[in-house]
Structure 1
């Protein structure tokens, strides 16, 4: 196995001084040449993200029922003690 100094990492994140946005740039990353995103596209992406998040929560609740039950009880207690 070669030493750490002799190995070459071709990825842009290996280059010191590269800005974060340049390191993230890839084929699917919007760049300066892309047209600006419309509100409808942003809302559509946000809705998809929220659906995926809800699905992941439901899956976690099915897989860990005891944790889900304690979370429900904790939430109910918070709601009972909340002052309007």
Structure 2
């Protein structure tokens, strides 16, 4: 039977592994978005404009 200390250590390791995977995913997502923006500049500009309009009309 594993005791509480071993379970806590496993939970911490899995949490750290999850954070590493998430950080890697976010890095790759950001890189993919940058690549898409370079490849399709007109679409990227339109998306930026839409986002700016969304932020201007957003109410706090």
Both proteins in one fold, TM over 0.5: yes
Moved over 4 A (4+): none
Question: Scaled by the length of structure 2, what TM-score is found?
Answer: 0.78
**Structure 1 unaligned runs (5+)?**
1-34
- Structure with the greater alpha carbon radius of gyration: 1
User: How many residue pairs were aligned?
Assistant: 50
| Structure number with higher helix proportion | 2
- The root-mean-square deviation of aligned C-alpha atoms, in Å, is 1.5
**Structure 2 unaligned runs (5+)?**
1-9
Higher relative contact order (Cα pairs below 8 Å, separated by 6+ residues): 2
